[in-house]
Amino acid sequence: MKKILLSILLLAFGTVSFGQDYTVSGYIRDLSNGETLIGAFIFLSENGASTVSNEYGFYSISVAQGTYVLNGTYIGYQDKLETIVLDHNVTYNIDLGVDNNTLDEVVVTAEEVDRNVKSLQMSVNKLDMKTIQKLPTLLGETEILRSIQLLPGVTSVGEGAAGFNVRGGSIDQNLVLLDESPVYNSSHLFGFFSVFNPDAVKDVKLYKGGIPARYGGRLSSILDVRMKEGNSKQFEINGGIGTIFSRLAIEAPIVKDKSSFIIAGRRSYADVLAKPFLNDGLKDSKLNFYDLTVKTNYKFSEKDQLFLSGYFGRDNFAFGQSAGFNWGNKTGTLRWNHLFSEKLFANLTSYYSNYDYQLNFGDKEEDTFDWNARIKNYSLKPEFSFFVTPKNTIRFGGQSIYYIFEPANAVSVSDNIKVDISTSKQFAIESNLFVENEVNLWEKVDINYGIRFSHFAYLGARNVYHFGETPRGDIRPLTDVTKADKGEVISNYNNFEPRLSIKVNLDNNSSVKASYNRTAQYIHLLSNSTASTPVDIWTPATNNIKPSMADQLAIGYFRNFEDNIYEFSSEVYYKKMNDLIDYIDGADLILNELVEGQILDGQGRAYGLELMAKKTKGKFSGWLSYTLARSERQVVGINNDNWYPSRFDQTHNLSITTFYELNKRISFSANFVYNTGTPTTFANSGYYQQGYFIPNNDNNSRNNVRIPDYHRLDLSVTIDPKPGNRKWKGQWIIGIYNIYSRKNPFTIFFRQNNERPVLNQPVNTEAIRMSVIGNFIPSISYNFTFK
């Protein structure tokens, strides 16, 4: 162990030169609104020393004494060159002006132009908000979660399903972060729209593999969504009227160049439209969803800056007074950026996140049912970046998360008798420590290696259940109940998660990258339906449910052509997952104190090839992404213990996204998607019992039949405002979703005739192809900016 530590230290500090070095550091921002730029490329002309700005727009380069020309570049902005005399440490903030020549041009890449090849990071996709806004969408609503499904390796079980699947992982294996706070249900209206308001989002990044040690907690991916800080130069209003939402976002400086805010809200108006169709008894019906995103910041000095951001969203459904159902997330993040020195950047994040839902039935006092459930957590997360040299960065830090799970607080009043049928709360602490080092070893080789140590403790106070063994697939009987006191550790899990990424430049235009990561996941979403529902609950690893583990290996070849106008990337990956959860037949996952006795554990494997070709600029641009993949599961007690494809397995997945700029004002975009039908299970026989016709799956197989392939073409045209510095700028987006009206099946199910069965007559059965969207859907939306 000592030797390993020594060699790591050597590697980390080996490239430190001990001559007289000075540092130039600062923030890189948009000149027009003061927003920091994430992932901007900064380099020195003289020696090529370079860096990329971090999540807060901070950069730091340390080189020998001398005079240098500092270049700040970011796609869509004019390059900025500044001569810097480095005979002491210099603080230099770079303000980039928007490049008017490319103002309205669609640019399908962000950050520096050759990032595809030059960046060490593989298996990462980044979508620029400008690109996302130009994509044709369902009902004209700009959608982050649906946009990322146009990228290789990202799929969904079908239209309207909540969440997304990354490289064969289930939806709960994605850590969705909004300003570092986890979002436990990222959907509005089940799965049609995501909770992210496009007006408030600055940057979207998806890690599918090669996950750096600073990220963890889920097996398959990290979706890192960062919010805008708000215009620190001038007052600005953005808004829009769409088919589903109306949006309004206000941003303004509080103290010019020191403090600003953004407040962005959206509300759907389906209920306003539905009102005339409701009868008297249902007059009080509700059907709406809304969200509010706010952020503010204060810059105390160049060394200290504070950010406060929050999200609040809710979906509301009520049918008269007799039934109501609502759900939503709340998150709050407080961050403090502090510069200990030009080389040591620190960030302390604390967040609160809460997802809850409420259901109530019954309008008469003597008979009601009220039920709510939530997952809540508090976290503290210090993180440090030490920019040793341009070729060597060390990051280290840790995090602690306190979880409170309330699976069900429920009170049933039946015939005036009140009974509390709540299930008991669960508590847990997840902690981790990490260190990672990114270093350029030789000219052509970059490496990021790191380790994450994670610990999870399942805590009292609560009853601890112990279950006996049964043939797998049956409910396990309760054998003993013990009591754990408040704060008492019921079960403990520790894991070391090694991470490694390597990049080798073959020449100036191509590179080979490889990565390995181990990830641990200590909380699971209990969901047994094809698409997850808002009432699905999260559960921690307990004394009966183990945490899941995954190991992923990926190798890729990256190449750019013709001065980085064309980008090509190819990756293969293999992911092995252990201790995934599944359920016994007919499992009852909600309002069940003993749910742990109905959970099975299994393993999974996913592997595939991902190809992506991009044309990044010009009148005609876009990308083509193709994935050949397999995602499988094996659970004792399911499919006769054999491997079977997961419900979201898609062999082929192709998407083509194109943009065409007709002139400065009018641009077109189109996307085409195709994927192999997902697998499902059919009953093959049926039998009668007490007059009921009961479907049966004779072979006990799982996911043995595929539904027909999915394909769809969407078009949209964007009409931008006339160029010029007018106060009000309006933009029209007209689109058609599913232009050739393909009835893409979500699933095929078997159904019995819905007429009342008649004695001595057979029950008629049929197979139904169910499409969530069976027609083309036109849309029109209007967006505006007022400054």
Partner 1 sequence: MKYLSILFLLLFIFISCEDVIDVDSGFEESQIVIDAWITNQSSTQIITLTESQDYFDNRLPTPIENALVTVTNGSVIHQFEDVGDGKYSWTPGMNQTIGDVGNTMVLNVAVGEKSYIAQTEIDPVPEIDSIKIFFEDQVIGVDEEELFAELYARDLPGVGNTYWVKSYKNDTLLNRPLELNLIYDATFEAGTNLDGVTFIRPLRFAVNALDDNGIPQSLNLGDKVRCEIYSISYEAFQFLQIVKEQATNGDSGIFARPIANSKGNIYNISTEERVLGIFNVAEMSAMEKIVE
Residues 618-657 interacting with partner 1 (rule: CB under 8 A): 647
**Options 76, 136, 140, 158; binder of partner 1; rule CB under 8 A:** 158
Instruction: Name the residue with tokens 């039920």.
Output: 371
Q: Does 372 bind partner 1 (CB under 8 A)?
A: no
The count of other CB atoms within 10 Å of the CB of residue 119 is: 20
CB contact set of 67 (below 8 Å; sequence gap of 6+): 83, 84, 85, 86
- For the CB of residue 650, give the shortest distance to partner 1 in the complex, in Å: 16
Mention every residue, 6+ apart, whose C-beta is less than 8 A from residue 244.
139, 140, 141, 193, 268, 269, 270
Identify which range of 19-27, 50-58, 334-342, 750-758 contacts partner 1 by CB under 8 A: 750-758
Residue with tokens 């969407």: 714
- What single DSSP character describes residue 743? -
At closest approach, how far in Å is the CB of 469 from partner 1?
Answer: 18
Residue 356 Cβ, how far from partner 1 at the closest point, in Å?
16
What amino acid occupies position 722?
Answer: K
Find the shortest distance in angstroms from Cβ 361 to partner 1.
Answer: 6
**Residue 420 burial (C-beta neighbours within 10 Å; 0-12, 13-18, 19+):** exposed
Closer of 87 and 585 to partner 1 (Cβ): 585
Answer yes or no whether residue 588 interacts with partner 1 by CB under 8 A. yes
Is 294 among the residues that bind partner 1 (CB under 8 A)? no
Kindly provide the residue ranges of all beta strands, DSSP E only, lying in 256-391, ordered along the sequence: 259-268, 286-299, 304-319, 323-339, 344-364, 367-389
Considering beta carbons, is residue 32 or 603 the nearer one to partner 1? 603
Which of 93, 530, 578, 634 is in the footprint of partner 1 by CB under 8 A?
530
SS3 10: helix
Stretch that binds partner 1, among 326-334, 495-503, 709-717, 744-752 (CB under 8 A): 744-752
Question: Which CB sits closer to partner 1, 52 or 535?
Answer: 535
CA distance 654 to 645: 19
Spacing of C-alpha 469 from chain mean position: 37
Told to check if 594 binds partner 1 by CB under 8 A, we report yes
Provide the pairing of β-strand 705-706 with 644-645: unpaired
Using CB under 8 A, which of 78, 412, 510, 570 touches partner 1?
412
Q: Does 16 bind partner 1 (CB under 8 A)?
A: no
Q: Is 693 exposed, middle or buried (0-12, 13-18, 19+ CB in 10 A)?
A: middle
CB of 581 to partner 1, least distance (A): 14
Nearest distance, CB of residue 25 and partner 1, angstroms? 51
Pairing of strands 21-30, 90-91: parallel
Question: Of 278-286, 392-400, 491-499, 718-726, which segment contacts partner 1 by CB under 8 A?
Answer: 278-286
Alpha-carbon Rg of the chain, whole angstroms?
27
Q: Which stretch binds partner 1 (CB under 8 A): 158-166, 542-550, 602-610, 721-729?
A: 158-166
Amino acid of residue 87: D
Pick the binder of partner 1 from 306, 380, 591, 715 (CB under 8 A): 591
Beta-sheet pairing, 666-675 with 679-680: unpaired
Question: In Å, how far are 152, 204, 397, 437, 566 from 117, measured between CA atoms?
Answer: 17, 20, 29, 20, 11
| Binding residue (CB under 8 A) for partner 1 from 13, 369, 378, 776 | 369
531 binds partner 1 per the rule CB under 8 A: yes
Which residue in 1, 4, 5, 417 binds partner 1 (CB under 8 A)?
417
Minimum distance of partner 1 from residue 194's CB (angstroms): 17
**For residues 58 and 371, which CB has a smaller minimum distance to partner 1 in the complex?**
371
Give the count of residues interacting with partner 1 (CB under 8 A). Answer: 95
Q: CA 332, 333, 334 angle in degrees (round to 5)?
A: 130
Tell how many helices (H) and how many strands (E) occur in the chain: 5, 51
**Stretch 194-233: interaction string toward partner 1, x if CB under 8 A:** ----------------------------------------
Q: CB of 434: closest distance to partner 1 in angstroms?
A: 37
Minimum CB–partner distance for residue 115 and partner 1 (Å):
37
Beta strands 90-91 and 94-96 are unpaired
Is residue 421 a contact point for partner 1 (CB under 8 A)? yes
Among 24, 151, 490, 595, binds partner 1 (CB under 8 A): 595
C-alpha 343/C-alpha 395 separation (Å) is 11
| Using rule CB under 8 A, residue 83 touches partner 1 | no
- Smaller CB separation from partner 1, 89 or 704: 704
Closest listed residue to residue 549, CA positions, set 516, 582, 578, 576: 578
Q: Which residues ranging from 660 to 719 are in contact with partner 1 (CB under 8 A)?
A: 681-698, 700, 702, 705
CA distance 167 to 296: 36
The whole-angstrom separation of Cα 645 and Cα 633 is 6
Q: Which residues in 167-196 contact partner 1 (CB under 8 A)?
A: 189-190
What is the smallest separation between the CB atom of 654 and partner 1, expressed in angstroms? Answer: 23
Residues 753-772 that bind partner 1 (CB under 8 A): 754-757, 760-762, 764-772
User: What's the token pair of residue 152?
Assistant: 């290789």
Q: Which stretch binds partner 1 (CB under 8 A): 126-134, 179-187, 418-426, 549-557?
A: 418-426
Binding part of the chain for partner 1, among 140-148, 542-550, 725-733, 740-748 by CB under 8 A, reads 740-748
Per CB under 8 A, does 261 bind partner 1?
no
Nearer to partner 1, 97 or 691 (CB): 691
| Pairwise CA distance, residues 183 & 574, whole Å | 27
Q: How far is the CB of 537 from partner 1 (least distance, A)?
A: 13
Q: How far apart are CA 314 and CA 368, in angstroms?
A: 23
DSSP symbols for 161-202? -SS-EETT--GGGEEEEETTEE-S--EETTTTEES--GGGEE
Task: Tell me which of 409, 748, 782, 786 binds partner 1, using CB under 8 A.
Answer: 748
Binding mask 547-586 for partner 1 (x = CB under 8 A): --------------------------------------xx
- Our CB check for partner 1 shows the closer of 341 and 696 to be 696
Which range of residues in 236-244, 342-350, 726-734, 741-749 is near partner 1 by CB under 8 A? 741-749
Site string for partner 1, 347-366 (x = CB under 8 A): ------------x-xxx---
Strand partners, 765: 752
Stretch that binds partner 1, among 109-117, 314-322, 434-442, 623-631 (CB under 8 A): 314-322
Name the minimum Å distance from CB 140 to partner 1. 15
Q: How far is CA 621 from CA 142, 659, 752, 781, in A?
A: 19, 5, 50, 23
**Residue 246 DSSP code:** E
